[in-house]
Amino acid sequence: MNWPGDARRPPPGAWFVSDERIRERLPDRPGDLEAPPTVPLYERTAFREADRGRILELLKARGLVFDNLAPGGILVPDRLRAVDLPDEAVPDGSWKYEVEFLPEKVFLRFVAKEYDVIRNHLSRCFRNQVIWNVSGTDEVRLEAHYSPPGNTRPYILIRSATAQCSVPEKLATRIQVLLDEIYEVEEPKSPLPALVRIGEPEPVPSNIASAPQTRGLTHMNDRALPLLEPLKLFHQIGVKCLKAKRGAFSFKQMAKEGLGQNDRALRAEMIKVSRFFYDYFVKFGHPEKGNSFKTKDDDPAAWPTEKVIHCAEREKSRICEPIGRWAWELTRDWLVDQRVIAPDE
């Protein structure tokens, strides 16, 4: 498909293709199987709406185009134009999503997937920058630095779009989860990027005295001991994810490797672990959520940043950041205390 405009500097809006434009570029034709062999086979074969749909579905499956929910049509992220990134000091409290290698397609697909929650679409979406807003109040600017100077690794800068202020860790982690999901598909053999805070650390929460790391699961031994086997499985899954340098995993693959009887049984055991930690965090508090812990891990509509383990049916499973990491570390320490595993496991 030949999209209009120069390949390096597409005109504004060139990455949106309406349904009418798609039909112009891929028109219906009746075909003529009786035509002489000198006529190309493409012209002799009929082309209908269903054929056009199959082509679009193939392009969508490869991440080359995306549906535009309103007003319809498709988005072609590779047609986005680049802008000059601002040359200004980055405020403390911003974040870097650092990686060994940052393909453009990771950032472009993030923009396309998040397009429907981005306000003033055309004025905020570029090949190397986007203004992202999903909460209604917190606007952040994401800048893709594909080849930074010196020995600096490529990174996506996450900074406030409205003022010289910090970006909350919860918001930065939410963006990290969205980017990780794309990066795992595009670069399956590469380690996941790291999320690094710029400048001074955030103030210690006032409820840190009752934070999980100062309590430990021994304070709920009556609940933890009956869940010894599920907690061991949770620890083993985390170890495998750490070795693979990925938070995502497959229940089917874990079951094949000897964890649990089958994938459905293993998923059920992990849901037990999640519900145990909900009760734990509600009772003892969590540095980021306090005592208001209500999300269910098997709820596909809930954000992964609000979960221990994302284990909704028919979706990629993962030990979630930051809450799942807290739960895994608590589990590891408790299993060491119970002499179930060695301190270095």
Please state the rounded mean pLDDT for residues 14-30: 85
Task: Output b/e per residue, 169-202; b: 16+ Cβ within 10 A.
Answer: bebbbbbbbbbbbbbbeebeeeebbebebbeeee
Helix (H, G, I), strand (E, B) or coil at 67: strand
From the DSSP assignment, how many helices (H) and strands (E) are in the chain?
11, 11
Please state the rounded mean pLDDT for residues 216-239: 87
Predicted confidence band of residue 338 (pLDDT cuts 50, 70, 90): confident
Please state the rounded mean pLDDT for residues 145-168: 85
Whether the pLDDT of residue 214 is over 60: the answer is no
Distance CA 18, CA 334 (A): 57
> Across the chain, what does the average pLDDT equal?
78
- What residue spans define the domains of the chain? 16-78, 95-197, 208-337
Encoded tokens for 301: 């509509």
Whether the pLDDT of residue 7 is over 70: the answer is no
Please state the rounded mean pLDDT for residues 321-327: 80
Predicted confidence band of residue 97 (pLDDT cuts 50, 70, 90): very high
Q: Which DSSP string do the residues of 70-124 spell out, in sequence order? A: TT-SEE-GGGPPP-PPP-SPPPTT-EEEE-S---HHHHHHHHHHTGGGSSSHHHH
Predicted confidence band of residue 207 (pLDDT cuts 50, 70, 90): very low
- Cα separations in angstroms, 10 against 19, 72, 79, 101, 286: 19, 20, 6, 25, 47
Please state the rounded mean pLDDT for residues 205-232: 68
- Give the per-residue pLDDT at 155: 93
Please state the rounded mean pLDDT for residues 117-146: 77
**Degrees to nearest 5, angle at CA 327 with 326 and 330:** 85
What is the architecture of the domain spanning 95-197?
2-Layer Sandwich (3.30)
Three-state secondary structure of 283-319: HHCECCCECCCCCCCCCCCCCHHHCCEECCCCCCEEE
CA 101 to chain centre: 17
**Degrees to nearest 5, angle at CA 50 with 48 and 54:** 120
Helix (H, G, I), strand (E, B) or coil at 206: coil
**Quick check: 132 and 109 in contact, CB under 8 A?**
no
Please state the rounded mean pLDDT for residues 132-151: 79
pTM of the model: 0.59
Please state the rounded mean pLDDT for residues 131-150: 80
Distance CA 96, CA 118 (A): 21
Whether the pLDDT of residue 295 is over 70: the answer is no
